Amino acid sequence: MDLKLSGKVAVVTGASKGIGLAVARTLLEEGAKVVAASRSASPGLDALAGADLLHVPADLMDPEAPARVVAAAVERFGRLDVLVNNAGGPPPGVSLPRPGFLTPDDDDWRQMFEFNLFSTVRAIRAAIPHLLETGGSIVNVSSGNARQPGPMNVDYSAAKAAMNNLTKALSAEFAPQGVRVNTVSPGPVLTAWWTEEGGAADILAGMTGTDRDTVIGKAAPEMMGLATGRLVDPQEIADAVVLLASPRSASTTGAEFAIDGGLLKEL
């Protein structure tokens, strides 16, 4: 199916690995021009190098960074059609999961919201004038934790819940002006958050007295009640993101799509 993205210009944040890298790759495969924002490049991103890819080094904890990324996209490619706010998860230097409400202090909460909400707000603020010109779309990558809070990663879940609320508000304001805004809410995805040294798999292995392979392959899917019995593949998230970004989804706005292996059970 032609997603009608050929020649479109997309900004993807957090694009050096995991979901963001899969989104950038898929957009390029669909003929789009991609501005990939991340703190640094990666072998995966380097493998996509070409005339249709621009990497913009950016630390989204810097309040000025989102606007610089958007400006670089317009300067290089002359327009902006798609914004994918994918950057999120643990702020730089933070390891999750983090149990208990009393564990994070005020600074932890500020950092979590800075990375998972305020960076998105700033990117959208910078992008909206250009998207209004092109009739573009925004896809915010949230989390199943936004709708299934619990006594772990409380600050992260709250930030993602705020992102879901933001998406609905933006859609109500800007859909009548031709800009669609939607959310994709992944469940646990097999990314570096889980697999890197000291990541979620290692932390949970220490908490449960097992090993990282058991956590990833068995304990985590069981603990989270994943109906599929496995963590989600990043490409499965990317496919949903790119479809929502596409004109093929012209009547979809203000929606939230759970790509979570059956994590969320409620209606």
The Cα 267–Cα 255 span in angstroms is: 15
Task: Please tell me which residue in 156, 174, 194, 257 is annotated as part of the active site.
Answer: 156
> With contact defined as beta carbons under 8 Å apart, do 232 and 220 qualify?
no
Cβ-based neighbours of 213, under 8 Å, separated by 6 or more: none
DSSP 3-state of 191: coil
DSSP 74-142: HHHHS---EEEE---SSPTT--S--BSTTSS-HHHHHHHHIIIIIHHHHHHHHHHHHHHHHT-EEEEE-
Report strand pairing: 9-13 vs 82-85.
parallel
Which residues, listed in sequence order, are joined to residue 10 by a DSSP beta bridge? 34, 82
Active site residue 38: no
> With contact defined as beta carbons under 8 Å apart, do 11 and 84 qualify?
yes
Q: Which residues are catalytic?
A: 156
